[in-house]
Amino acid sequence: DMFESDGIRGKNHIYSWIQGRGLEAIATHLKWYDRVGWPSDDAKEELISLGRSVSANLQRQRRSNGGHLYFLATDRSHPTEDTDVFTMSDLFCSRGLYAFNHDWGTEEERRASRRYITDTLQAIIGNKLVNDQIGFHPSQYQGRKAKATGFGTEMLGLGAVTLLMRLERDSNAPAIGRRFVEKILSKHVNSMGRWPSIKDGIIVEMLDDEGNVFLDEEGRVLVDPGHSLEFIGLAAQMVAVYLECYGNEETEYEWMIDVGGTLDSLIEPNLKLGFSETGGIVKRIDAVSKTIPYDTMPWWSLPETLRAIALTEHLKKGPWSTFGTEWFERCLSAFTENYRKPSACPIAVQTIDSSGKPVDVIPATPDLDPGYHTGLALLDCCNVLSKQSVVLQ
């Protein structure tokens, strides 16, 4: 109902992140419904048709931009002077194009999409990928402005790694995934009292040039518990897919087994740091003083947390822990009561405040979730809870 309005919500503002995320969600839901059954006779063809339309538009826009995609699809200005640098939009869109075209594209589209996603991963490894997000609220990404280094590129790169592992058992993907996880664990997790004023196990998103915690202009160590939990879930997803797709003689097998326990140990401190009694996860919190600078709790943190809990419990291969059961139910209830039920449509509202009321704060883009954070995370939960494979064949 905002398409006719001017500004960032208008129909002329098309966000590449949403297009790429939505295309990956379409591809994953196609596999899901093939397995569990379609809700109607026409639904599959409609979803394939939609996916082909999005894929064609992204490919066309990428060609017109010299091989890259940017936060605003219609904006051809590169976020850096180096046009060889990839963007976070490239990462989301390469994931979507690869996931969809692997099954539904032409042979040339399959080859081009695979090259796009592997080139994007190499850009992350070579430190040649930047976050091109335009923040619409002070609580949102400010890394480039603040000259701080986060872990978002490696974290979201895990999604690309997992696709390569899941769809074609790629031989290089496990080592890349390990590299990303080890970098985040070694540089961003407070362990063995590295930062004495912060509790052990807390994942610190932003670091300064020396690798120390980044202090904002008020001297705070602001962390994003939602991103911490999203990392745990995406890393656990990669491990789970690896263990189903690769043999126990593979090079990374022992590491994959061991890192599952590490990921499990990180959920409790980060979840308890960020969870509000209202029923949501705060966007930012000072890891030292525990003060909350912005009264905002985005919806996406909860499904990502549900995935993290479900997959770490799955990797332990036994009955769920009391902690996992209680917090899964608590987070699911919070998502349902505070985000899903108040919505005027079947898609969750984006952001609430500490009183539980929806607020006009945009998390990343004005668009509602295209089945990405909510759909993909909850499909992983469904796979675990139904005791089915986490690999969608």
Boundary of a domain, candidates 134, 155, 174 = 134
Q: Got the DSSP string for 95-142? A: HHHHHHHHHHS-HHHHHHHHHHHHHHHHHHHTT-EE-----SSTTS--
How far, in Å, CA of 97 to CA of 124, rounded?
A: 18
151 and 68 assigned to the same domain: no
* 354 class by beta-carbon count within 10 Å (0-12 exposed, 13-18 middle, 19+ buried): middle
248 and 279 assigned to the same domain: yes
CATH number, domain containing residue 333: 1.50.10.10
Boundary of a domain, candidates 93, 117, 134 = 134
98 and 226 assigned to the same domain: no
33 and 70 assigned to the same domain: yes
107 and 162 assigned to the same domain: no
Residue-number span of the structural domain to which 33 is assigned: 1-134
Which residues is 297 bridged to in the sheet? 352
16 and 158 assigned to the same domain: no
266 and 156 assigned to the same domain: yes
Amino acid letter, residue 143: G
68 and 155 assigned to the same domain: no
pLDDT in tens, the chain (393 residues): 444 445 566 566 778 889 999 999 999 999 999 999 999 989 999 999 999 999 999 999 999 988 999 978 766 555 555 668 999 999 999 999 999 999 999 999 999 999 999 999 999 999 999 988 776 666 666 555 567 899 999 999 999 999 999 999 999 999 999 999 999 999 999 999 999 999 999 999 999 999 999 999 999 999 999 999 999 999 999 999 999 999 888 899 999 999 999 999 999 999 999 999 999 999 999 999 999 999 999 999 999 999 999 999 999 999 999 999 999 999 999 999 999 999 988 889 999 999 999 998 878 777 778 888 999 999 999 999 998 666 665
219 and 108 assigned to the same domain: no
38 and 167 assigned to the same domain: no
Amino acid letter, residue 271: L
124 and 146 assigned to the same domain: no
Boundary of a domain, candidates 102, 134, 166 = 134
Contact 216, 222 (CB under 8 A): yes
Helix (H) or strand (E) holding 281: strand 280-281
219 and 346 assigned to the same domain: yes
Number of domains in the chain: 2
For helices 225-245 and 301-315, give the axis angle rounded to 10 degrees: 40
